[in-house]
């Protein structure tokens, strides 16, 4: 799974990046609706959020773009954002727009299930998977509890902290993933700090999906959108 920030550096650039990602074998794409305080994100994605907002990106534009991509390509598309965006838009209205647009899942890292039961009721009603997050600090009991609300897959944060920094895949990580696997029957996706094919290989047999985020955004910043396709192809 790959991650893009909508409206950064532009929606047209997003189109070109997504096309290259799909053509080079990405299995699903996480599209971030920008927010002013993206608390789970490191400096690369934080800057992308801020720059997108400074250019005037709106939630409505992101919903329309998501619908366009879901209609264009056969892979699943997800929205990732923060709860204030959905709350301000209106939970039911947001879910209805996402459903109409063919969005398959939502990742909202700052929304614990206790905060909004309606969110999960709408998710079930609209058949949009609520993707919940495990972290190395999650207890076994909390993982089991989150699993009762989750659908689609579980997003396993590879380490403490925010996105972008390099992760290590040693014994502690393996033990953590074993705990994740024991807590759910859903597929496991691993993100935060996965940068290259070696990182992807490190989780084969332990998880079901690798999540590439900051690396592709940084690549677009440094080398342009045309660099994305060869990079994605090289991960397999």
Catalytic machinery residues: 30, 41
Please confirm whether the linkage preceding 9 is cis (ω < 30° from 0). yes
The secondary structure of residue 187, as a DSSP letter, is -
For tokens 């305080």, the residue is 37
Beta strands in the chain (DSSP E): 2-5, 29-32, 77-80, 105-107, 129-134, 154-157, 188-191, 209-210
Dig out the tokens for 100 from the structure.
């109409």
Assess contact for 200 and 229: CB atoms under 8 A. no
- Burial bucket for residue 141 (CB in 10 Å: 0-12, 13-18, 19+): exposed
d(CA 130, CA 124): 8
How far is it, in rounded angstroms, from Cα 3 to Cα 213?
Answer: 5
């Amino acid at each position: 799974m790959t991650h893009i920030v909508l409206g950064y550096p532009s929606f047209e650039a997003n189109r070109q990046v997504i096309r290259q990602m799909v053509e080079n074998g990405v299995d699903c794409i996480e599209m971030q609706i920008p927010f002013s305080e993206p608390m789970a994100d490191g400096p690369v994605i934080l800057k992308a959020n801020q720059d997108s907002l400074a250019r005037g990106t709106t939630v409505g534009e992101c919903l329309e773009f998501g619908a366009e991509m879901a209609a264009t390509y056969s892979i699943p598309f997800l929205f990732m954002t923060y709860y204030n965006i959905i709350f301000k838009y209106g939970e039911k209205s947001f879910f209805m727009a996402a459903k109409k647009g063919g969005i398959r899942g939502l990742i909202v890292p700052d929304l614990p299930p206790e905060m909004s039961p309606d969110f999960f009721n709408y998710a079930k009603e609209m058949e949009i998977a609520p993707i919940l997050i495990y972290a190395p600090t999650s207890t076994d009991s909390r993982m089991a509890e989150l699993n009762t609300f989750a659908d689609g897959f579980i997003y396993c944060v590879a380490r403490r902290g925010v996105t972008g920094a390099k992760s290590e895949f040693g014994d502690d990580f393996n033990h953590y993933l074993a705990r994740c696997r024991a807590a759910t029957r859903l597929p496991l996706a691993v993100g935060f700090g996965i940068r290259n094919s070696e990182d992807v290989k490190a989780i084969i047999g332990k998880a079901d999906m690798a999540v590439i985020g900051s690396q592709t955004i940084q690549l677009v910043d440094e080398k342009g959108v045309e660099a994305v396709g060869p990079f994605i192809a090289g991960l397999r």
